[in-house]
């Protein structure tokens, strides 16, 4: 398992007139947490895209336990539970400043060759960076 924490400040732009973070804005929090979790492993989504692999989202799930509110410093955990293949699944846990779990989410993304639009295998560099966190899983060989 791989877990990484990103801290994010809620902006006024993120709120709605209910005084909560608008339910659609958690997706950008997830994205920030995913990208930072990769960066912590020396991986850059930007470079991967420049190398011709994009990662469109296939499926997303969100559970709103309690609202996030303006100016809170959120702690967003991005978690990978199984070694990715042509798909990668991220789980999220969001904690507020009182360390309460206010939100959970899951996103499944797929590796796609930009040129062909076809699914492809996870880039080698990412496989190598993730492998130490999944010692019991055999890599295809």
Q: Which residues bind a copy of itself (CB under 8 A)?
A: 9, 11-13, 15-20, 22-28, 31-32, 35, 44-46, 54, 56-64, 67, 70-71, 107
CB of 12 or CB of 135, closer to a copy of itself: 12
As a whole number of Å, the end-to-end CA separation of the chain is 21
Strand runs labelled E in 2-122: 2-9, 53-54, 57-64, 73-80, 87-95, 101-110, 112-113
Give me the least distance between CB of 84 and a copy of itself, in Å please. 17
- Compute the least distance from the CB of residue 57 to a copy of itself, in Å: 4
Smallest separation, CB 98 to a copy of itself (Å): 15
> How far apart are the C-alpha atoms of 131 and 141, rounded to whole Å?
13
> Closer to a copy of itself at the Cβ: 72 or 121?
72
Is 85 in a helix, a strand, or coil? Answer: coil
Contact 97, 22 (CB under 8 A): no
Q: In the complex with a copy of itself, which residue's Cβ is closer, 70 or 91?
A: 70
């Amino acid at each position: 398992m791989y877990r990484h924490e990103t801290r994010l400040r809620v902006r006024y732009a993120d709120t709605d007139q209910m005084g909560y973070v608008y339910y659609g804005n958690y997706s950008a929090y997830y994205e920030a947490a995913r990208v930072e979790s990769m960066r912590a492993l020396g991986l850059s989504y930007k470079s991967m895209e420049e190398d011709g692999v994009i990662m469109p989202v296939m499926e997303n799930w969100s559970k709103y336990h309690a609202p996030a509110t303006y100016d809170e410093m959120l702690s967003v955990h991005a978690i990978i539970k199984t070694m990715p293949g042509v798909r990668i699944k991220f789980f999220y846990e969001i904690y507020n400043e009182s360390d309460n779990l206010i939100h959970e989410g899951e996103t499944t993304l797929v590796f796609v060759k930009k040129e062909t639009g076809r699914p492809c295998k996870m880039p080698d560099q990412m496989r190598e960076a993730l492998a130490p966190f999944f010692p019991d899983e055999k890599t295809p060989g």
